[in-house]
């Protein structure tokens, strides 16, 4: 998925509150394939850098896993999109 398409998907998931707007509590980068990216929805391969992002208690979802590129898009978009 290209960056423009990933940005549109992440914006929609933020709007639907499937991705949190809150600041991460903990981020851990790794190469660990096999799961789906909570940002774009595509599979993360073992050759792709990804982040496991945890949030403070009470934030839903409590944790997400994102491609590195999707993490960067999510950081930018979560700060720009107003909560409504």
User: Which residues span the domain enclosing 9?
Assistant: 3-80
Whole-number pLDDT of residue 12: 96
Q: Tokens in use for 25?
A: 């509590």
- Record the pTM: 0.88
Number of helical H runs and strand E runs in the chain:
2, 3
Check residue 1 and give its pLDDT.
79
Looking at residue 83, its pLDDT comes to 59
DSSP string, 2-19: -HHHHHHHHHHHHHTTSS
| CA atoms of 48 and 82, how far apart (whole Å) | 30
User: Can you tell me the mean pLDDT for 12-23?
Assistant: 93
Number of domains into which the chain is organized: 1
Per-residue pLDDT reduced to its tens digit, 34-84: 899 999 999 999 999 999 999 999 888 899 999 999 999 999 999 885 655
pLDDT higher than 80, residue 22: yes
**C-alpha torsion 47→52→53→55, nearest 10:** 170
């Amino acid at each position: 998925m290209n960056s423009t398409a990933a940005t549109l998907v992440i914006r929609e998931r933020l709007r639907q509150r499937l991705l949190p707007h809150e600041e991460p509590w903990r981020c851990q980068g790794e190469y660990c394939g096999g799961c789906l990216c909570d940002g774009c929805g595509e599979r993360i391969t073992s050759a792709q850098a990804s982040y496991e992002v945890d949030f403070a208690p009470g934030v839903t979802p409590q944790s997400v896993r994102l491609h590195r590129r999707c993490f960067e898009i999510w950081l930018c978009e979560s700060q720009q999109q107003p909560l409504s």
